[in-house]
Structure 1
């Protein structure tokens, strides 16, 4: 992979579509791109899975050897078979020839693993075949039981003396570089851990490990100077680790030990605002710390004022896009490139903005940060000083600032891949234990289905790193939740181990209540792990019932229309005018086809509103009684959750176009600004008023646009920054989005970006935000939105007008003492629920007296049980 691709969020288009949920669960694995073998790397078709067993793809079932060293040393292999437990542990290897290590040679195993290792065999025709050997399984078997309980990284004793420890079982030697000298380390042969105990004056000093090890990626023994995977602090640009104790009182901002947090909110009631740290403040003229952690300590900034208003309305969490140390952004401000163009001078549909930004994108201060370098250290580019532990203090102050605003904090974590592997300078794990931490394909190449060098969280020590890292963030930084990127590439068992470790944290012992920490992630099913090929994955269906939520793409696609990677972005959905307000795109099909698809979308929305429950039973739009699991979503069950809280609802997130931009493509171009605002609120309402947790992208309530950019991971501040002051616009019309990911849509984008009517004025922005906050308040104050079980939802929630005669574009839901009508049509809608005739319903007071005077005109006729709702409106009625 090129340096640009390796350091980006970019993925192959077909795989990316699946990763982000354009299709839900695959029925068979996709062909996966394998990482190109670096120069000098041979294939590794043999896999040493435990101390007794080797599996060799393509070998003959005849005697073979494991050769190591340069003097003909070897272990003999005899034909064998996999045991039932081995077949269970390695399902993807069950069809390959298996061999047993000769018992007479097993004493050489540990020595062989610290040397160049090859499998060889004489074939029946006399040829000699040779291949490399994958060793993660045997390393786990030999060392895992002891190593998984080892304390790694810098650990301080009560007398202030640090012990530094690193797991490197295959290394020939490991030494510590500190103070310009090399300090020997001692190896524990039972765990493979190397340790050295230091003096108290080591505190605060930079260090690296010097590891001499066989590196299959280059086919030779190397000596690597490498930072600590368990680093607690770093110098600028991650050049050195620092010997830092996170419990040092000097790293605790005032009030840290007595930090008062907002009350914990159960995951099923969580309303989450997804936010990128730099986006939040970099263009906020009222912030004293633009683009930094400390921007969240500016209580009078426009951004913090807005977050507080959302918190008062019912938002409970801020989800921060990756804030751990990443490989992408130069951390010193002097090294960060800036566009040298007058971007504001170009036309709104010009290609010059993106061209200028692209020239500096690889060296500027912007990236989403999905390219991990050190998993458990805050990213330095957001700190006032990246060189040292200031980033620790300022990250903690950020958490304080958010907590003080009434918001708990979620971290976006990316344990499914690393920024690089092999001998790349941005490879940390693979330069310490080559071939262990990365997931390898059957030929020994590194899996890249996630866009980058995949990690093998199924291996003991990579799984341990995940658990230890999450616990550190929760305990030492008081993070309240974690969102796992591409969680389906991790074993379910590993995520549940995280849950168990968090649950063990108590306020008395650890200063935090680990049971209140929420977990959710992307449960997409694709790549080399798809369909549980290697282990039981943490996918949507597999995680049901665990208390760990997964993003649900079902209602997202239904409300927006189509999928994220449609060739024609004008494919419409429930909230974008399908059938009821069609645009000119032939991709939408005939009116009859549109009507059929719209009604099916309404069934998907019904399932979504229940919390994506698999066993919830209702009447679908064809008039049949179905369960949520019986509704089709691209060949997969729409409903997969066992309880509310298993599925997370959303209408937009950082991936793909913002909701405003998607509606810009999909709504007829003539749609008035006020109507675009109303459709934005309607779309957001399908998540905000659902059972279970819901997430929205920061700024969506302000009609946020990224000028139609569908993948803004490296598009800079110009396209990404949030605009809290409506006088600065919403981001629409800042030029054609970067060509690399958007050029195929430029023909559709140009006329939209050039249309001044699509750049909303303050009135529309204020109206949208106020209406959205009203919905949040309704959700927060009505207990019926927090039902705990499928049975409770089945009893309290229904769709009384669902069936063959339901109105296309209108969805009516009854929830305990509420009736909610989603009218996505451009006409006023009447919905008569005869069973409610005579019941005393009225528009919810928060809408009747809210800022949206159009919604306030919604009415109820008691005599007939008829609810009348204005066009493009969601109205909530409450029984008085």
Structure 2
């Protein structure tokens, strides 16, 4: 190795500063110990310069500071094929050979790539991205390390991965304790005494921080924190095996049996009880509200479980950044929102004044991934938040419901030297995904993490396993999962599958995984790795949200300028609303038929290879039905599709239909279209997913992004006498003002506020659909082959009725009760007949659940055995069974 050294303060070469000298950017990439990838012209001299003291800077056109220079040698032909496959976004970069004896020492300082002309004049200098070389040097050994607090025989050891740190110490209740560095792993650790239990701690990390261009000393909480003090000021040293943190019966807790196919109910912890007067005030909005067995909310959840809901999906319950955790610090709006007009802009205005300091946020802004959120605890300074979280899980399990956690490993609340940055203040430039110039990518809204890096991948797997083993969580929903590598998601799946009841207290194979498989941002199209997107996850058993059916049923998409674009469930062509966004009569009819084809694919579980007759008469597969230029069908197994018509994102189903149905539509018909729309998800072969309150016509007063809209716009009202939330005022301006001209007349219209009878009708009919789903294995077929063999659309083709879908399920050899089940989705405002030749002469009746329905309309559905004709009333989903 040839190293040239120029001491700090050396005389700089004369000449003007080069235009490309920018040490605040990092355009060079040290991808393994021997290779630097950099776009740099030939015929120049290239160097790697490092400074242990981190004081490199440019003065008078020259790099000065405590410089150590390593010549770089260009590699003919650039990166190897293996390197290009590992780093596809750098495939066109030049490659330079790095020959450094002590790579680990270099990585603990500032590193800069330098370009000079033949005379030695500085032409270019840029920072260097180091995640690749860190993984190469430390990854294998570090990935096997135990990080965070680990207890053995009552004694804790604390460990943190900080390979680039100059030194790390432990701050234990204000006392500084030295930590030891393991050179093989880059892990710093210290072993304490049993007296450390319950103590507050942080790591004191001295490290070069590229974001500020100097060595800093940061006092940082533990990325592997299991406990925290209020507002995440300090980590709290707790032992998750401590019996004092376990509720009564925790070790012997019996879970509901794993279902044939999950049915998921999406719920926010604060929404669940914040407006529930049957919950003691001090418990509203907390984990412990789920222990109030006779509250209105818990009675509602038990009733849903009785109907067939199997899992409650909780929006983020890990530690997040944007809510003051002590109740005394939480502000409330100065106005009385209920006293203001339903179309007023005053409600949103006074809520906006406290939105950063009130008690509400969805929580998609992670601080610590493996500690419960403190604002949901009765005392955020106390380790009892762990016990209270477990009480919530137990309360739901004992009510017949499994528990899914919404996890957000794709980004953090902050990066760099921000006080709310954790990962990046310990290993700067590693845990976050950097763009080609070194800036932190933020396509997910915040500072994107880099799960493609070994230790971020390890953090995710370790965190998920902790929630599963120690909190008995039954499933995980990954936010923006398409920003994760497919390989990483498979590692999560494998880690969960290794958990056993005997050894770990949980059956890992029964834990479900699903997430958002969207494809966008700097990783789109496999730019950096094979992503965990919808199509890529086919065959893995990991589910993704099915936006195809959602948009076909609701109409349009979530980002339409005109929210009145209609779909199958909102009156397209059959009940036009007059918006020019819907096109001509002929265009509407064609769109409706295409939407029906998309829904048919959705009813199969969005199977890629399912073959059927499309509305134009062609024999097609699910993949051949278009969805905005992409295939509608993309799964290899039905349970890989999470099928829904609304979720916490975008308008609720009720609000979407308020925009899309003709304004004169009577409330009774609105309820019918609401339930019909929901039926497409509930009776599909995918995993049905229901947003909390949708069964009760929940409205957010047309708010399409209520993540920070306070309790008022996010009310979940269990008492129908309180309404459904519609007419709570114009939704917050930040995300909705462009829709106010459409929203104002709707919110002012009293006919759009449902009565108790309307809300109760929607809830009862949703329950009926859930019980129908649960009544037969035909709605939960296990494989694509079974779906292809048993599920047909007998009337699909050029002669089908626009706005009507007929689906038949063959039960022979599978369903002990019925030979077949036929479902007719009649979204038209008229009664319809559907003649199915295979049913001629058969003994067909209305499903017993609907035959006993409180809905007199569905009870009018009938069958004529002489012709095999099904008669279905307007705006009705009718289910017929063949004995």
TM-score, scaled relative to structure 2: 0.94
- The structure-2 alpha-carbon separation of the partners of 1:420 and 1:61, relative to structure 1 and needing over 3 Å to count, comes to farther
Whole-angstrom distance in 2 between the partners of 1:618 and 1:411: 36
Alignment-derived partner of residue 11 in structure 2: none
1:831-876 CA-partner distances (Å, limit 9, x unpaired): 1112321111110000001221210110000000110001100000
The Cα shift of 1:788 comes to: 1.2
For residues 123 and 528 of structure 1, the distance between their equivalents in structure 2, rounded to whole angstroms, comes to: 33
- Aligned to 1:363, what secondary structure does the other structure show? coil
Shift of 1:61: 6.7
Partner residue, 1:257:
251
**Residues 42-191 of structure 1 aligned to structure 2 (within 5 Å):** 42-60=24-42, 62-69=44-51, 70-80=65-75, 81-102=78-99, 106-123=100-117, 126-158=121-153, 160-191=154-185
Choose from 262, 265, 278 the match for 1:286: 278
Question: Is 2:199 the counterpart of 1:196?
Answer: no
Q: Deviations over 1:613-670 (max 9, x none)?
A: 0010000000000000000000000000001111110000000000000000000111
Q: How does 1:300-699 map to 2 (within 5 A)?
A: 300-699=294-693
Aligned equivalents of 1:395 and 1:277: distance in 2? 11
Residue 316 of structure 1 deviates from its aligned partner by 0.3
Query: In the TM superposition, what are the counterparts of 1:790-805 in structure 2 within 5 Å?
Result: 790-805=784-799
Q: Does 1:746 align with 2:731?
A: no
| Distance across 2 between alignment mates of 1:860 and 1:335 | 63
- Alpha-carbon contact 2:23-2:125 (below 8 Å) kept: no
Instruction: Give CA deviations for 1:592-614 in whole Å, capped at 9, x if unaligned.
Output: 10000000000000000000000
8 Å CA contact 1:57–1:442 kept in 2: the answer is: no
2:760 to 766, 775, 780: 766
CA distance in 1, matches of 2:202, 2:844: 69
Specify the alignment match of 2:864 in structure 1. Answer: 861
The higher-RCO structure (CA 8 Å, 6+ apart) is 1
Pair 1:708 & 2:665 matched: no
Number of paired residues? 835
Matched, 1:845 2:840: no
SS in 1 for 2:685: coil
C-alpha separation in 2, matches of 1:682 and 1:124: 75
TM-score by length of 1: 0.94
Contact 1:644 1:787 in 2 (8 A): yes
How far apart are residue 124 of structure 1 and its match?
A: 5.6
Deviation at 1:692, TM superposition (A): 2.0
Q: Partner of 2:770: helix, strand, or coil? A: helix
The corresponding residue for 2:826 is 823
Q: Distance in 1 between matches of 2:740 and 2:142?
A: 53
| Paired residue secondary structure (1:814) | strand
The CA deviation at 1:128 is 2.6
Structure number, greater radius of gyration = 2
| Structure 2: runs of 5 or more not aligned | 1-21, 52-64, 811-819
What is the CA deviation profile of residues 653-709 of structure 1, one whole-angstrom value per residue up to 9, with x for unaligned ones?
000000000000000111111111111110110000000211010000000000000
Equivalent residues of 1:837, 1:864 under 8 A apart: yes
Shift of 1:341: 0.5
Quick check: 2:50–2:69 contact (8 Å CA) kept in 1?
Answer: yes
CA contact (8 A) 1:278 1:721 kept: no
Shift of 1:129: 1.1
Range with bigger deviation, 834-843 or 741-750: 834-843
**CA displacement, residues 499-544 of structure 1 (integer Å, 9 cap, x when unaligned):** 0000010011000011100000000000000011100000000001
1:838 & 1:242 partners in 2: Cα distance?
A: 71
**Residue pair 1:523, 1:550 contacting (<8 A) in 2 also:** yes
SS of the aligned residue for 1:424 comes to coil
1:58 to partner: Cα distance: 4.3
Q: Secondary structure at the match of 1:155?
A: strand
CA contact (8 A) 1:556 1:651 kept: yes
The C-alpha deviation readout for 1:710-753, integer Å capped at 9, x for no partner, is 00000000000200000000000000000000000000001100
2-structure distance, mates of 1:704, 1:216: 48
Instruction: Say whether the 8 Å CA contact 1:706–1:720 is kept in structure 2.
Output: yes
Give the CA deviation at 1:41. Answer: 6.4
Residues 297-348 of structure 1, C-alpha deviation per residue, up to 9 Å, x if partnerless?
A: 1111111111111100100000000000001000000101110102111100
- 2:735 matched to 1:732? no
Name the residue aligned to 1:6. Answer: none
CA contact (8 A) 1:270 1:692 kept: no
CA distance in 2, matches of 1:127, 1:469: 46
CA RMSD of aligned residues (A): 1.0
Q: Deviation of residue 59 (structure 1)? A: 4.8
1:607–1:628 Cα contact (<8 Å) kept:
yes
Structure-2 residue corresponding to 1:11:
none
Q: Mean alpha-carbon deviation: is it higher for 712-721 or for 77-86?
A: 77-86
Mean Cα deviation higher: 782-791 or 498-507: 782-791
C-alpha distance in structure 2 between counterparts of 1:60 and 1:429, whole Å: 37
| Superimposed CA distance per residue, residues 417-462 of structure 1 (whole angstroms, 9 cap, x where no aligned partner) | 0000000011000000000000000000000000000000000000
User: More deviation in 388-397 or 366-375?
Assistant: 388-397
Q: Is the contact made by 2:408 and 2:479 (CA closer than 8 Å) also made in structure 1?
A: yes
Structure 1 position 180, deviation (Å):
2.1
- Give the conservation status (yes or no) of the 8 Å contact 1:62–1:78: no
Question: Could you tell me which residue of structure 1 aligns to residue 817 of structure 2?
Answer: none
Q: Is the 8 A contact 1:75 1:108 kept in 2?
A: no
By how many angstroms is 1:787 displaced?
0.9
Separation of aligned partners in 2, 1:62 and 1:780: 71
The 3-state SS of whatever aligns with 1:732 is coil
Distance 1:55 1:586, change over 3 A: same
Q: Are 1:140 and 1:460, in contact at CA under 8 Å, matched by a contact in 2?
A: yes
SS class of match (2:721): helix
TM superposition shift of 1:189: 0.4
- Any idea what the Cα deviations from partners look like across 1:378-437, whole Å, max 9, x if unmatched? 000000000021110000000000001100000000000000000001100000000000
